[in-house]
Structure 1
Amino acid sequence: MRIGQLSQLSGVEVETIRFYEREGLLQRAEREANGYRRYQQDHLQRLAFIRHCRALDMPLQDVKRMLQFMTQPTADCGDIDRLIEAHLENVRSRLQSLQALEVQLCSLRDQCGQPGRGEQCGIVQELESASKGRSCACHPA
């Protein structure tokens, strides 16, 4: 199959497929006499694996490590377990940050007494106070 068809079947953009080839995540396709790349079913399967890892928000460096591990069927999976554990810790940390952001946004939203004109908007006033270095409900001193 050609790159356009691979893109359509995998749901991965053509430029991303080329990038994955350059970065060594996807093995280079054979070239036809006319110079077009010719992809096989294993390219599609590998792209599905990469796409699934990316959907789990894994950085490309970790995806590459996972792919390398797959080529070593007798290797100890402890390294991959540690990789996933580190990724899980990163996700937990980001969740905490997002929860703190939610609290700040709720506090900011609560500053709105009544919808009205811009100069009377409690949200805008709070954001202005914060931008001038004064304490506000969303960032207490």
Structure 2
Amino acid sequence: MRIGELAANLDLPTETVRFYERRGLLPAPQRAPNGYRRYDHTATRRLRFIRDAQAAGLTLAEIRRIIDLRESGTVPCRHVDELLTTKLAEVKERQRHLAALEAELNHLLQRSRTLDGAACDDGEVCRILAG
């Protein structure tokens, strides 16, 4: 199939397919006599893998490493497990930070609703945010 068909099948822009080729995530395709790229179904599977890996929070560099491991003959499952474990820990840490931010914002909103704006001192910028 040609690049347009491949991209359409996966709802990707053709430029994304070319980008993945340049980054080495997708092998260079065969070329037809007219110079058009010709892809087989392995390209579809690879692009789905890339999309799924990105949905799991993996970076393109991490995805490239997984592909490199597979292409070198190493089963990347242990490496992927370690990556996902790290990603999950990062997500949990971000959730803790976001929960703290949410609590602070709620506190500030409650405070803002009890303050009289007319009572602000000229030297203050905003009493809501002044601790």
Matched residue, 1:78:
78
**Structure 1 match to 2:55:** 55
When the two structures are aligned, how many residues end up with a matched partner?
A: 122
Aligned partner letter, 2:80? I
1:70 and 1:135, CA in 2 relative to 1: closer, same or farther beyond 3 A?
same
Give the superposition deviation at 1:111. 5.4
Counterpart position of 2:44: 44
> Higher relative contact order by CA 8 Å / sep ≥ 6: 1 or 2?
2
Identity rate of aligned residues, in percent? 36
Q: 2: CA distance between counterparts of 1:24 and 1:6?
A: 17
Q: Please give the alpha-carbon distance, in whole angstroms, between the structure 2 residues aligned to 1:33 and 1:76.
A: 36
Question: What corresponds to 2:99 in structure 1?
Answer: 99
5+ residue gaps, structure 2, are 118-124
Cα offset, 1:72, TM superposition: 4.6
Q: Does 1:29 align with 2:29?
A: yes
Q: Secondary structure at the match of 2:93?
A: helix
Q: Deviations over 1:8-59 (max 9, x none)?
A: 1112221111111000001111122222111110000100010001111211
Distance 1:79 1:111 in 2: 48
Any idea what SS the aligned residue of 1:26 has? coil
**TM-score normalised by length of structure 1:** 0.70
**Deviation at 1:71?**
2.8
Q: Distance in 1 between matches of 2:76 and 2:31?
A: 36
Distance change (3 Å), C-alpha of 1:12 and 1:105:
farther
- The one-letter amino acid of 2:94's match is R
SS of the residue corresponding to residue 103 of structure 1 reads helix
The aligned counterpart of 1:123 is none
Aligned partner of residue 58 in structure 1, secondary structure:
coil
- TM-score (normalised: structure 2): 0.75
From the superposition, tell whether residues 41 and 62 of structure 1 become closer, same or farther in structure 2 (CA, over 3 Å). Answer: same
User: What amino acid sits opposite 1:23 in the alignment?
Assistant: R
